[in-house]
Amino acid sequence: MNTITDSLIEQQNELVLPFLKTDYEALGERLARTGIDIKAVTEKVSAFGVAIPSWGVGTGGTRFARFPGRGEPRDIFDKLDDCGVIHRLTGATPSVSLHIPWDVADAEDLRAKAAQQNLRFDAMNSNTFQDQQQQVHSYKFGSLSHTDSATRQQAIEHNLSCIELGEAIGSKALTVWVGDGSNFPGQTNLTQQFERYLDSAKTIYKSLPADWRLYTEHKIYEPAFYSTVVQDWGTNYLIAQTLGDRAYCLVDLGHHAPNVNIEMIVARLVQFKKLGGFHFNDSKYGDDDLDTASIDPFRLFLIFNELVDADLSGTLDQRLAHMLDQSHNVTDPIESLMQSAMEIQRAYAQALLVDRVALNAFQEDNDALMAAQVLKEAFRTDVEPILAMGRLLKNAAANPIAVYRTGNYREAVAKQRPEAKVGSSGIV
């Protein structure tokens, strides 16, 4: 039962509207002094959307344990209901990315549920990093790069089936992440393994519908701990170059060594027209899959700074795929996803406030201190009134988390969805 009704949202918005108006006007006045039109920024931010990963609405886990929450979605239809609530409240998550075979269902039913929740389908994610029941060949030693051609063929066919379902539900992209790699020096021939991966990827690419894109995702380690076939953006770029115009590199923020300068990777991929999009999350140590901007909001801002810079110079691909990819182990996933979508909009809003004329002048002058201050000034600006007003423009909630809690959605669905079994572990 959906307790997040239009009237609840309207009621709650009315409570905060007078304060919000005052704060918005004050910020508008301040920004106008530096030549920034708050309305234009609000419209841009409000139009910015990020996809929800279907697997993100379930409680995540680690290798050690998973502690299920109450009212967990039982299947893709429950997941789409939860995604609908997130979008209704934030207005920031218009699409959902499916993971196959976890989300396999009848295409008609999927379309109908998505339409009911005012959602679209984003990229399809294939899964050749786990074995499924009834599967003939195991992926224990790899999938698209496996030494055995029948196993590679099985992985290729799985990707083709993802495209097929995707076409039936209006998706326009396939995201491929493989866990292939090795755990020991000498376990695999690094060159031959990559050759095999490329051959398989070429076969998938050949079957890509004309208006589709193929995104490949690099990851430095895990589940393989000595080497990974697509370990970094360099290898990812080689793949995209080898495959062709519709192949792009996807940057998952957690898939790099700590302290890697991701904004620079973004700049390079934009410059050479191979940035496909993002999987947003945050991390402290590795692929922690923490909530976006929960650890390092400045890094997220710097990434958006590159995107805005590219947009202004006309080099930004307008079809970038933005998705959250996080694991929610200790929070209500719906709350985490709402907060994360809003953090992404915050970083975007702050990046839009950067005084680019001043920044350029300081850069030309080699005035490092002042150039850095220009960025800091934008980053320090409290853009919350812009975000909240942007949500109101879309009839969403000024304060999504407060409305969600007032609506008691989790309690209501917990009555219908049986409690998940304890003791399981794994990434989803």
Tell me which residues touch Mn ion (CB under 5 A).
252, 279, 325
* Residue 255 CB, nearest approach to ligand PSV (Å): 7
Total site size for ligand PSV, rule CB under 6 A: 9
Q: What is the rounded CA–CA span in Å between residue 232 and residue 314?
A: 27
Q: What is the rounded CA–CA span in Å between residue 246 and residue 201?
A: 12
* Residue 377 CB, nearest approach to Mn ion (Å): 32
* Residue 325 CB, nearest approach to Mn ion (Å): 4
Nearest to 352 by CA among 324, 322, 383: 383
For ligand PSV, the closer of residues 215 and 362 by Cβ is: 215
* Residue 348 CB, nearest approach to Mn ion (Å): 20
* Residue 79 CB, nearest approach to ligand PSV (Å): 14
Q: Which does residue 287 bind out of Mn ion, ligand PSV, none, counting CB within 5 to 8 angstroms by kind?
A: ligand PSV
* Residue 290 CB, nearest approach to ligand PSV (Å): 13
Angstrom distances, CA of residue 360 to CA of 298, 309, 370? 20, 11, 11
Single residue of 213, 218, 279, 328 touching ligand PSV by CB under 6 A? 279
Verify binding: residue 177, ligand PSV, rule CB under 6 A: yes
Verify binding: residue 427, ligand PSV, rule CB under 6 A: yes
Single residue of 81, 180, 325, 332 touching ligand PSV by CB under 6 A? 325
- Find out whether 102 and 54 touch, Cβ atoms under 8 Å: yes
Verify binding: residue 399, ligand PSV, rule CB under 6 A: no
Site mask, ligand PSV, residues 185-214, x = CB under 6 A? ------------------------------
Single residue of 81, 122, 180, 217 touching ligand PSV by CB under 6 A? 217
Biggest alpha carbon distance in the chain?
66
Verify binding: residue 309, ligand PSV, rule CB under 6 A: no
Single residue of 54, 93, 125, 143 touching ligand PSV by CB under 6 A? 125
Q: Which does residue 125 bind out of Mn ion, ligand PSV, none, counting CB within 5 to 8 angstroms by kind?
A: ligand PSV
For Mn ion, the closer of residues 253 and 354 by Cβ is: 253
Contact residues toward ligand PSV (CB under 6 A) are 125, 177, 217, 219, 252, 279, 287, 325, 427
